Amino acid sequence: MRNILGILFLSFMAAVSAKAQTTTSSTEDKKVVSKPSRDHFLIQLSHDRWTNVPDSVDMKNTGRGLGLYLMYDFPIKKSNFSFGAGVGVRFSNVYFSKEKMVLDSRTDRIIFQAADSAIKGNKFSTTYLEVPLELRFFANKENRNKGFKFALGAKVGFTGIGGSHYKERVPVSGKFISEVTKTKRFNQSWRLTPTARIGWGNFSVFAEYTVTPIFNNSGNTLGANPDVRPFSAGIVISGL
């Protein structure tokens, strides 16, 4: 009887030990399999404004923008930091209250004129192809879609795919007709925009400021184009 009990006890202990090893092995396998995705889609919704605007130009507070980016993540060894790089497109619209922009003049200077009160929706739009670069921190490196995170970086933008255009709605015979002027002549061909964002999980808030002027031949001298530089702030949805 004692021999039988001894055999049963040893068999039970062996089974428990085997199960523990299997559980440990499964946990380790899960850790290997559940590595964070290194590529993700990023959507940026922003409120856009110009800084250093001439006193004679009155801008509305309804400027807005949209950024769409495909990013790839490069982990820095086994730390909570990584380097992100990608490509995307950035759209921006700013609106004017009492002025209109004249972009089809024969000079290299942008002209702001007083707009008729009947004109609606006068706005200046830009489109940039951008290459974002970021240094990122993730509090939860096992699952980067959860927990605290922040990133510092910059975007290099190019006007090659879209440039800019000015649009206004003019009343004609009781109806509003949209007039659009498209041009790249006045714009700098590239721009540099430092960025910062902070958030939790898939949602972040961000701010960015373009350190290069929008327009060519800009400055504070007589006859120069206004030395305006865009500023944006908003929300980011990432990790999709």
Q: Which two tokens stand for residue 169?
A: 């709605």
pLDDT for 8 equals: 44
Are 112 and 100 spatial neighbours (Cβ–Cβ below 8 Å)? yes
Closest CA to 164 of 97, 110, 115, 202: 110
Q: What is the DSSP letter of 54?
A: -
Residue with tokens 């428990």: 16
- Per-residue pLDDT 10s for the chain (240 aa) are 545 445 445 554 555 455 455 444 444 444 444 455 666 899 999 999 999 988 888 888 889 999 999 999 999 988 999 999 999 999 999 998 878 788 766 777 888 888 776 677 788 999 999 999 999 999 987 777 789 999 999 999 998 766 787 787 777 766 777 777 787 888 889 999 999 999 999 999 999 999 999 988 777 666 678 899 999 999 999 875
What pLDDT does residue 218 have? 76
4 sits in which H/E element: helix 2-33
Instruction: Give the amino acid at 223.
Output: G
Q: pTM surpassing 0.85?
A: no
How high is the pLDDT of residue 105?
64
What pLDDT, on the 0 to 100 scale, is given for residue 216? 85
Amino acid 217: pLDDT: 79
pLDDT at 68: 97
pLDDT at 16: 47
For 61, the token pair is 């507070």
Cα distance between residue 72 and residue 38, in whole Å: 6
**Which residues have CB under 8 Å from 220's CB, separation 6+?**
227
The whole-angstrom separation of Cα 188 and Cα 240 is 33
- 181-186, Cβ contacts within 8 angstroms, sequence gap of 24 or more: 181/101, 181/103, 181/104, 183/103, 183/104, 184/159, 185/103, 185/108, 185/216, 186/103, 186/108, 186/110, 186/215, 186/216, 186/225
User: How many CB atoms sit inside 10 A of residue 202's CB?
Assistant: 16
